[in-house]
Amino acid sequence: EPEVTQTPSHQVTQMGQEVILRCVPISNHLYFYWYRQILGQKVEFLVSFYNNEISEKSEIFDDQFSVERPDGSNFTLKIRSTKLEDSAMYFCASGPHNTGELFFGEGSRLTVL
């Protein structure tokens, strides 16, 4: 069964460092997303990406964040100058259509010290 894969599964970084989280969406999907979940909190939308550009982004997704699809398979989330409050599980998701029926990866846990 096709799946969304994410790397790394866990990253520990120092405050102020840059982090890149990587995702390989399901191959025939067209819509890509990043969500995050702070421990004990709800899943929060960060950004959606379609046709090589950002479709929508939340207030959380400020200038500190960027996304890129550098090739035909990878979808990355970059966090510049990480802060303590960036510690969370970051989920990549993809979908074949513009609906809420998404397939999530297993997540990348980011710990900022």
Instruction: Please identify which residue in 21, 25, 91, 94 interacts with other proteins, judged by CB under 8 A.
Output: 91
Which amino acid belongs to residue 23? C
* Nearest CA-CA partner of 86 in 15, 9, 8, 23: 15
What is the nearest approach in angstroms of other proteins to the Cβ of residue 14?
A: 24
Q: Please report whether residue 56 would count as binding other proteins according to CB under 8 A.
A: yes
With respect to other proteins, which residue has the nearer C-beta, 20 or 60? Answer: 60
With respect to other proteins, which residue has the nearer C-beta, 6 or 82? Answer: 6
Contact window for other proteins (CB under 8 A) among 11-19, 22-30, 47-55, 69-77: 47-55
Q: What is the DSSP letter of 71?
A: S
| Lookup result for tokens 């890509």 | 32
Tell me the C-alpha distance between 113 and 104, whole Å: 26
Tell me the C-alpha distance between 3 and 68, whole Å: 20
Tell me the C-alpha distance between 109 and 99, whole Å: 26
Contact window for other proteins (CB under 8 A) among 12-20, 41-49, 63-71, 75-83: 41-49
Q: Which residues bind other proteins (CB under 8 A)?
A: 31, 33, 35, 41-45, 48, 50, 55-56, 58, 89, 91, 95, 97-107
